[in-house]
Chain A
Amino acid sequence: MKDIKRKTTSAAGATKLSRRSLLKTGAAAAAASAFPAPMLWAQNIKDITITHIGQSYSTIPNIAEQANADLGFTVDMQTVPDNTAHINRLLTQPQTVDVTDVPNTNMKYFVGRGVLMPLNVADYKYWDKTVPLFTKGEYASGEKASLQGYAPIKAQYYTDETGSEYSLEPTEWLVGVPLYYNADTLGIRPDLIGRPIESWAELLNPEFSGRVALQDGVNVGVPDAAMALEAMGEVSYVDKGNMTRDEIDATVDKLIEYKRDGHFRSFWANFDQSVQLMASGEVVLQSMWSPAVTEVRTRGIECKYNGMKEGYRGWYIMMMGMNHLEGLQRDCAIEYMNWYNSGWAGAFISRQGFYNSVPDNVKGYMTENEYGYWYEGKEASEDILNPFGKVMEKAGVVRDGGSLWDRMGNIGIWNTLMDEDRYLVRRWQDFIAA
């Protein structure tokens, strides 16, 4: 930790120093007026405030503090109370927000709404260093990434600068800056199961009747269930991340049978509930988020998070500016988005178990041990600390599932928002009512 702090302060100090010394000279002022963007001058921007509303794990006060120290303008971070309130605010009061970050399951709501700002690829410094999942829709091996569900490439490029449609082919107009992504899988209580779990099919195995949970809702719970049903051979799909009505019917009818047999202990709707279900032993197997698994472990309870042979369930968070931005405000928003992926914030969030989209930048802000553990699948040489300095894992531990590409290179489905969402939500109601 000490190592990192030193690095950041010196980096921040260096930028400030160069700015200040430049501003002292009259020539700099002349240059500023001749080339207004993308160079941002402290005297013009110090009154600017960028409002960033986003996820609980991307709008942490520590990150805001660092942003305000590194940048010449003010960053006002707000954590959204819930997804519904977040999306409603972006769609109905976009002018109250400058920058936001949203999960991939929401990207479809913005198509043709004109609230988000298309970002020219030239304005983003790190596009060349961004992992190919986002730039080309490929894994590091060059293999095409799974397109089942809302894959990154489905909402990364606009067809043109009007930003009215997403393009599957790369263009010079980005929908936004990808921040975080991860590969989710089943959380397992090995002490209560006593054998390896290697397939999504186990989620619906009668052996665990009454001891499994699903994630509530159609964006994640249904993809998880579809992974299980497909693995069991119960239902076959063309694209389980974007089902037809017949596929939805087959899926929901099967799930209703399981629910009537008392197969599900609970459906969880948030981080705390998932931790509580697993830690209390109410549930021995359930789809989880990586930090929730860690939280269970920090309570001294064994919890495994290995990949399944059908692959992981992937997701990502995209950061974007709002379309109302103009002039200096717009420049600052773009500067802020660049800062967010320049390493410090990425390293901070990587310590929670997520991946940043520009691992090269993150590397400089993590110790070799940290980067080795989180990104490279290496054994931890010392204790692994969370972003707040608490011990998460002891030395000698290897991350479940291995390195970045062992995990992200094996995606079976992405979190999704299906074309038939209207029909799916209606059938989901039947499922809950059953």
Chain B
Amino acid sequence: MRLANPIPPRIVSMIQVAPMALIFTTMVLLPLGLIFVVSFLDYDFARVFPELYLGSWEDVLTSQLTRDLYAKTFKFVAIVWAVTALLGFCIAYFLAFHVRTMTVRLMLLATVAIPFWTSGPIRAVSWVPLLGREGLVNQALMGLGITSEPLSWLMYSEFAVLIAYVHLLTLPMIVCMVNSMGKIPPSVIQAAQDAGASEWQIIRDIILPLIRPGIAIGTIFVVTAVMGDAFIVKQMSGGQVNTATMAIVTELNAFMYPPAAAKSVVMLVIVLALVGVLLRFADIRKELQR
């Protein structure tokens, strides 16, 4: 038996997306709109006045501070991406092509994740006995006669921030790449080997092009994590390095919402643009289907 008057498919789809659309509108779009409006308002001592004030935007768009903040942020993004991509690829390649059994592969992957069983603050504190002036690294360097006095730039420095980022973000890079590598049919590699290709040729001409989506998704992880972080940068630099997100946090802690809102809007636009570009290299829907 068929319904006499079936609901048109267009309406059915709209009803199906309605709950998500409602949540997205009320929880994401409206608050974002509010943030945008607040960025144009005047403020003072934890208060926002309904008066037009363009100073926050003028500062964000023209000041040396903004240039410094983004220069620092992008420097971190570039270095962390390069290091995690290289490390991630090497480890993923080893796991996918040199480790033969799935059990060992999963065990090794789990080993990489061990440091993440503890909380962020504890990990941040634990760097001091390692990298501090009296830390293990300095003791080892001096014990071996490589340095005569402790290196102070190991901790509370940009170097320390980079170390912590690499430590944190290599794992997602590995996981994304291992996942992509796992989808390469072994027969393709075998065919190349039979045709006499060297290992390097296989990596360059087969593996790298085929894991491009994995690299892109790993990159999105790394880029958004570094750009959105204020905690690691504060802990590891001892509060002495300012990044675009750090500046937003500082203003929120001082209850200065309009400049924080203006900075957030700029940050959002930049991150969305970066993710948009990166997604051209990976079709996430296709990745999830396979």
A residues whose Cβ falls under 8 Å from a Cβ of B: 83-84, 87-88, 91, 108-109, 111, 113, 210, 213, 216-218, 259, 262, 264-269, 272, 276, 280-282, 417, 421-422, 425-426, 428-430, 432-433
Contact = CB atoms under 8 A, between A and B. Distances in A.
The list of the 10 closest CB pairs from A to B, nearest first, reads A266-B238, A267-B239, A433-B242, A432-B242, A109-B46, A425-B254, A433-B68, A216-B239, A266-B156, A84-B253
Contacts of A91: 46
A421 B238 contact: no
Nearest to B251: A425
B68 A269 contact: no
A262 B156 CA distance: 11
Contacts of B239: 216, 266-269, 432
A108 B240 contact: no
Interface in B234-249: 234, 238-242, 246-247
Given A210-B152, A269-B239, A276-B125, A425 B256 contact: yes
Interface stretch (B126-134, B139-147, B172-180, B271-279): B126-134
A429 B65 contact: yes
A210 B65 CA distance: 25
Given A429-B65, A433-B69, A433-B72, A267 B254 contact: no
A432 B240 contact: yes
A429 B133 contact: no
Given A210-B152, A425-B250, A259 B59 contact: no
A276 B126 CA distance: 11
B155 interface: yes
Contacts of B253: 83-84, 217
A108 B44 CA distance: 10
Contacts of B68: 433
**Tier of interface size on chain B:** 35 or more
Nearest to A84: B253
Contacts of A432: 239-242, 246, 250
Contacts of B250: 425, 428-429, 432
B256 A281 contact: no
Contacts of B134: 280-282
Contacts of B259: 426
Given A268-B238, A430-B65, A432-B246, 19 more contacts: A84-B252, A87-B46, A88-B255, A108-B45, A265-B156, A266-B156, A280-B133, A281-B133, A281-B134, A282-B134, A282-B155, A417-B45, A426-B65, A429-B242, A430-B64, A432-B240, A432-B241, A432-B242, A432-B250
B59 A109 contact: no
B101 to A, nearest CB: 44
A264 B133 contact: no
A107 to B, nearest CB: 10
B81 interface: no
Given A91-B46, A429-B65, A109 B133 contact: no
Contact of A422 (B72, B155, B247, B256): B256
A113 B132 CA distance: 46
B76 interface: no
Contacts of A88: 255
A256 to B, nearest CB: 12
Contacts of B44: 422
B43 interface: yes
B254 A421 contact: yes
A84 B250 CA distance: 10
Interface in B43-73: 43-47, 59, 64-65, 68-69, 72
Nearest to A221: B239
A111 B45 CA distance: 9
Given A109-B45, A259-B240, A429-B247, A87 B255 contact: yes
B259 to A, nearest CB: 8
B255 A280 contact: no
Nearest to B46: A109
A418 B238 CA distance: 24
A218 B250 CA distance: 10
Residue picked from A83, A280, A426, most chain B C-beta under 10 Å: A426
A426 B241 contact: no
